[in-house]
Structure 1
């Protein structure tokens, strides 16, 4: 049923020595969890283990997750007693991982089948790298990811770039398990951005210039929940301030990040409200205006006049 070569310990063999642990947070999304697990198992370099951390899902979803993982070699399900958010789940999975590398995958996302192989190659060639990321795409239901180019270009992601924008979607990241930084658990929005900025101080980060992961959910702001947009912006502002106090960012870097975030936030909000206005207008049923009667000319009046009896 599942691809790969199982070992006696129940996991998969990973070529080259480094073992990859896959961490998947899950909350009431068992319908798409199987798709995510299958995309991890379909990698050209099989994972050492798959750790699904359930964040106190409803019993029906939890039972489905148990049934799904029961037949997967090397898979584990960690059941959280209470809901604590994806950051806590990822950290729990990270701490439980036994591989030298940790890859993150959300239950509603999928990987390109060569993602792990390409990123592993970069990490082996460049020991100074602490993490590797890549482009993130969006798919329609039933759509599959395209093949990676034979020679996908890559570039480094410096701290200065991360101050401008967060180009690293969590499902695209492969990080060395020995990294000291973790996801901030008290932050509900942009917690990944916080981690990437901290990781950039521990080592270099590379970015593959091709889609290595994709998702089926809509971006924040298109779901009709304006509160999510506001909370995400507020969270990003607080993240930069928290990193400044911790000495990760200088005061100048923080002010620069705030200025860029203000411009990007204004654009994001404008796009969000324009999307809402378009949807609202499309739902309105405005009757077509009644057209006034055409003006009557002398010629048309003669044509319409009744014929008289000439007898």
Structure 2
């Protein structure tokens, strides 16, 4: 098992991310930290972490120019040496039995090409409850991918030899596009119905790419069009998925408007 971690200006969070990898009950064979030309002290932090755990286990890959998380993940994917790859973002954390349960599920059903699990947003340092064993593994249908993205990137383990990669022209929803290509091409994909990792809640009002909902909507519209061009999505499926996307956008706008309305009505001290 190889673990690929794209790293961009993550000096403050990379220690926690790598610690959650090192704490796995099934320790991966290698960790690839791909530094995406942050222009700050991130590279120094990665070398410090690698030295602490051993350069025979952690490999730091320094990219010459910033090209985004898709290129960073693809670079790690290319240099990975083991049959399965797990992805972790540098500001997230895994529960200690994540890889153990996923690899057990893959051993029980070797035809699975990709397996993920649930994640929750929690404050940094939150401990996950002890997962149930054996894990309840559910095969993810084609229809599910038309409705939503069921595979958080930091939850995914996939076969290294899959003939797909992250689309480096997509800055948002690039993960959703890749998972859709895999599922819609007929590969068997699954999800464990348990929370085995967390998105660490951002502090001090920090925002990221995932907070720009208008850009996400445009990205998902573009990915649906690309799937049609690739012959992976029929016109009927395209219309169905587009309708679901529009409904979700309207719902999000309604909730955003209600929050603004309530904040204006809130009495000032």
Which residue of structure 1 aligns with residue 39 of structure 2? 58
Matched, 1:70 2:51: yes
Query: Shift of residue 270 of structure 1?
Result: 2.3
Query: What is the distance in 2 between the residues matched to 1:280 and 1:27?
Result: 36
Q: TM-score, with normalisation over the residues of structure 2?
A: 0.92
8 Å contact from structure 2 (residues 124, 201) kept in 1: no
Quote how far apart the aligned CAs of 1:224 are.
10
- Select between 189-198 and 62-71 the one with higher mean Cα deviation: 62-71
The reply on whether 1:266 has 2:250 as its aligned counterpart is yes
Q: Indicate the residue corresponding to 1:99 in structure 2.
A: 82
Kept in 1, the 8 Å contact 2:105–2:137? The answer is: no
1:48 aligns with 2:35: no
User: Is residue 250 from structure 1 mapped to residue 234 from structure 2 by the alignment?
Assistant: yes
Alignment pair present for 1:214 and 2:214: no
Which stretches in structure 1 are left out of the alignment for 5+ residues?
1-19, 287-311
Gaps of 5+ in 2: none
Q: How many residues align?
A: 264
Q: How does 1:111-190 map to 2 (within 5 A)?
A: 111-190=94-173
Q: Which residue of 2 aligns with 1:232?
A: 216
Q: Quick check: 2:101–2:134 contact (8 Å CA) kept in 1?
A: no
Partner deviation per Cα, 1:257-310 (whole Å, 9 max, x = no partner): 10111111111222234334545655x737xxxxxxxxxxxxxxxxxxxxxxxx
2:225 to 241, 246, 250: 241
Distance 2:193 2:167 in 1: 27
Quick one: distance in 2 between partners of 1:72 and 1:151? Answer: 30
TM-score (norm. length: structure 1): 0.80
Per-residue deviation, residues 154-190 of structure 1 (Å, max 9, x unmatched): 2111121111011210000000001011111111111
Name the CA shift for 1:53/1:281 in 2 (closer, same or farther; >3 Å): farther
1:88 to 71, 77, 85: 71
8 Å contact from structure 2 (residues 135, 193) kept in 1? yes
- Structure with the larger RCO, 1 or 2 (CA within 8 Å, 6+ apart): 2
Distance 1:63 1:42, change over 3 A: same
